[in-house]
């Protein structure tokens, strides 16, 4: 990881059908130093995802139209290394487990606690870092063992 990469704010996409929620996310994530993109539906979210290629995606699960699980599947299909955090309603444990099985980074219950948001983001970053270092190792090993 280079300094220039660290300087550049990390891209994050938030998908939620609630405008007010999106607004809050923007405030929070701005404070955490992300480059925030928001979408009001799953469809719009995928569009922005394709354009911006964010490393982390936060998506609500219950949405009209395309729901969070479908968004998760689609993103994992297009870019498996992307970390997706799903936002679930209270008590939607089935959906949360389903999401984790689909390789979601974490799930956050609504109403969103600052702590769990920070934990989720940290976990996502961790996973990204591990994935990155794994990738680096693989690359190094490739270089160390020339054919």
Min dist CB 110 to another protein, Å, is: 4
Min dist CB 36 to another protein, Å, is: 14
111 preceded by cis ω (within 30°)? yes
Identify which of residues 27 and 97 has a Cβ nearer to another protein in the complex.
27
Identify which of residues 113 and 137 has a Cβ nearer to another protein in the complex.
113
Q: Please report which helix (H) or strand (E) contains residue 138, including its range.
A: helix 114-144
Query: How far apart (Å, rounded) are the C-alpha atoms in residues 113 and 4?
Result: 32
Q: Which residues bind another protein (CB under 8 A)?
A: 18, 20-21, 23-25, 27-28, 31, 62-65, 67, 89-91, 110-114
Query: How far apart (Å, rounded) are the C-alpha atoms in residues 25 and 83?
Result: 17
> Which DSSP category does 38 fall into?
E
Identify which of residues 67 and 103 has a Cβ nearer to another protein in the complex.
67
């Amino acid at each position: 990881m280079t300094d220039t990469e660290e300087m550049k704010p990390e891209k994050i996409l938030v998908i939620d059908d609630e405008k007010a929620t999106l607004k809050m996310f923007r405030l929070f994530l701005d404070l955490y130093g992300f480059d925030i993109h928001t979408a009001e539906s799953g469809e719009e979210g995928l569009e922005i995802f394709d354009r911006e290629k964010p490393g982390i995606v936060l998506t609500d699960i219950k949405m009209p139209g395309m729901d969070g699980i479908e968004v998760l599947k689609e993103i994992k299909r297009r870019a498996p290394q992307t970390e997706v955090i799903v936002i679930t309603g209270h008590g939607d444990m089935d959906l949360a487990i389903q999401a984790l099985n689909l390789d979601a980074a974490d799930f956050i219950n609504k109403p969103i606690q600052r702590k769990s948001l920070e934990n989720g983001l940290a976990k996502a970053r961790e996973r990204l870092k591990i994935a990155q270092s794994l990738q680096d190792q693989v690359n190094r090993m490739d270089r160390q063992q020339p054919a």
